[in-house]
Each structure stands twice: as C-alpha cells, then as structure tokens.
C-alpha cells in the first residue's frame, strides 16, 4: 500500500490507481457542497473559453457555468466559486461546467497525463472522513494513491498541504507502518500536526486565505473549515465528477 503527496501541481510521476485532488480554497470544497446539494455532475474545464464552449455544446438545458478568475465570477457565469452559492435551489439536478484559477487546472494536468489514474476523487476538509473511509480498503488491496495539491498559481499552498497531511494522519492511524509514504506525505503530516483543526489560524497564515478575506470572501473560509460537514465523495465517472 502506497500513498504519495504531490505538494506542487503537475502531472503524476508514477503509475496510479487513484488520485485525490485538493483545492481547499475553494474548488474541491465548493464541488462537495454542490454535489451534496443535488447537482447532477461537475465538468472541470481549464479555461473560461473552454467552459463557455462546453455549455454551448451541452445536450440538455440543465447545464450551468460556475467558476472564477482571481476569485471573481467571469462575465455571463451563473455562479462563482463560493461554497455558499451552491445551495439546493441553485444546483438541484444541474450539470455544472466549472473553471477556476487553480483547482480545475490541476485536475486537467492530472487527467491529461500519460500516467492518468483509473479513479479520481476530490478532497477538502468538509469531506475528509468520507474520503479516508473510501481510500482505506483500496490501500489495503495494495492500491497506489497520490494526493495532488492544486496549490496557488502553480506554486505551494499551505492549506492544501495541511489538508493532505490530515488525510495522511488518518490513514496512517488505520493502516500503521504498512502504509508506505513519500517525503511529500511526511512533510504534509508535519504541517497538519502544526495546525490541527485550528482552521482560522491556518487560513489566516495561508496566502490565499488572506487574499480571500481581503477581497470580501471571509464567510467562505468558515464554510471551507467545516470539518466533516458532508459525506459526499466527488468521483470521476464518464468524463465528469459525480457523487460517489
């Protein structure tokens, strides 16, 4: 059983069974809320133009656009990237075509790579226990799992690394030393140990957390730190993420 954490966004460097993508602030958090509140599917797109093209080509009238660039909702989009926007009234039975500055781009890098995994899931603090419960039996069956942090503008993001470390800690508690991890996993576990469940301090220290607060999204930080608020696990099926 092998678990690796990739702290900087990029294609996986090993052959994988499962990839876990993290963008705590805010895509993977908001995606979990969307699917938990009744959205039918999520299609991640790397660019705003690609998202607009996808919604024009949608075969049903249930498609909608969501996303951001530099935290701002692009012109003509139905929703931004705040977890507070993805209410049942807004997303019930909708297919969401979504593009963000970091999270959806990280997914594109992973899924378009030569070593693309057979399974992909989305993780944030709001569904941490649900994701750990899904991964534990797969690891016992000798699956190779990589955790891909979306980061910020191609670089390191403190909050994503801390969330990865929380997952590493939970899985190690269940699986013990039989779980093989890389240096990225060990480093992320150290970050998690430093912050624990003090998400207010984590987001205050994180560059992107400060950016969001300074730009009027302080309420989003509370939603992003709602540990285990949801049981949904977004999973990649037939070219989209659905509730798994």
Backbone angles phi, psi at 221, to 5 degrees: -65, -35
**N-terminal to C-terminal alpha carbon distance within the chain:** 22
* CA 235/CA 244 separation, integer angstroms: 5
CB atoms within 10 A of CB 100: 28
**199 and 128 in contact (C-beta within 8 Å)?**
no
Report CA-CA distances (Å) from 158 to 23, 71, 151, 152, 163. 11, 18, 8, 9, 9
Residue that the structure tokens 């990237």 belong to: 81
Whether the predicted pLDDT of 228 surpasses 90: yes
Calculated CA dihedral for residues 219, 202, 227, 160, nearest 10 degrees: 100
Look at 110 and 241; give whichever has higher pLDDT: 241
| 213 domain residue, yes or no | yes
| 57 domain residue, yes or no | yes
Domain span including residue 184 = 2-238
- Which tens digits make up the pLDDT trace of 120-147? 999 999 999 999 999 999 999 999 999 9
Residue 165: its pLDDT value, please? Answer: 98
CATH code, 44 = 3.90.1560.10
Q: What's the CA angle centered on 102, arms 242 and 28, to 5 degrees?
A: 35
Rounded mean pLDDT, 44-48: 96
- The three-state secondary structure class of 243 is strand
| 125 domain residue, yes or no | yes
Q: Number of helices (H) and strands (E), helices first, in the chain? A: 10, 10
Look at 198 and 16; give whichever has higher pLDDT: 198
Calculated CA dihedral for residues 183, 189, 195, 197, nearest 10 degrees: 150
| 244 domain residue, yes or no | no
| 31 domain residue, yes or no | yes
- The three-state secondary structure class of 137 is helix
Tell me how many domains the chain contains.
Answer: 1
- Which tens digits make up the pLDDT trace of 111-121? 887 667 779 99
DSSP string, 204-233: HHSHHHHHHHHTT-HHHHHHHT-TT-----
Select from 205, 233, 211 the least CA-distant residue to 153.
Answer: 211
Rounded mean pLDDT, 37-50: 97
| 191 domain residue, yes or no | yes
| 243 domain residue, yes or no | no
- Which tens digits make up the pLDDT trace of 53-103? 999 999 778 999 999 999 999 999 999 999 999 999 999 999 999 999 999
Residue 11: its pLDDT value, please? Answer: 85
Residue 14: its pLDDT value, please? Answer: 82
Residue 12: its pLDDT value, please? Answer: 83
Where do the DSSP E strands lie in the chain? Answer: 2-6, 18-22, 41-45, 63-67, 95-99, 119-123, 144-149, 180-181, 234-237, 240-243
- The three-state secondary structure class of 154 is coil
- Which tens digits make up the pLDDT trace of 161-218? 999 999 999 999 999 999 999 999 999 999 999 999 999 999 999 999 999 999 999 9
């Amino acid at each position: 059983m092998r678990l690796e954490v990739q702290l900087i966004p990029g294609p996986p460097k090993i052959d994988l069974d499962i990839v876990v993508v993290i963008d705590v602030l805010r895509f993977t958090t908001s995606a979990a809320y969307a699917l938990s509140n009744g959205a039918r599917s999520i299609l991640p797109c790397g660019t705003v133009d690609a998202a607009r093209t996808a919604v024009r080509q949608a075969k049903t009238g249930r498609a909608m656009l969501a996303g951001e660039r530099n935290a701002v909702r692009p012109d003509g989009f139905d929703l931004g990237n705040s977890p507070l926007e993805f209410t049942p009234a807004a997303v019930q039975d909708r297919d969401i075509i979504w593009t963000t500055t970091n999270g959806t781009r990280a997914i594109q890098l992973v899924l378009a790579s030569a070593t693309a995994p057979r399974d992909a899931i989305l993780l944030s603090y709001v569904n941490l226990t649900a994701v750990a419960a899904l991964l534990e039996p797969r690891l016992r069956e000798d699956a190779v799992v990589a955790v891909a942090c979306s980061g910020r503008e191609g670089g390191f993001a403190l909050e994503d690394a801390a969330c990865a470390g929380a997952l590493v800690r939970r899985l190690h508690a269940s699986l013990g030393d039989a779980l093989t991890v890389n240096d990225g996993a060990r480093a992320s576990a150290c970050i998690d140990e430093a912050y624990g469940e003090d998400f207010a301090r984590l987001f205050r220290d994180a560059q992107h957390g400060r950016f969001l607060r300074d730009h009027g999204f302080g309420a989003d930080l509370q939603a992003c730190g709602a540990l285990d608020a949801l049981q949904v696990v977004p999973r990649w099926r037939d070219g989209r993420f659905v509730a798994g």
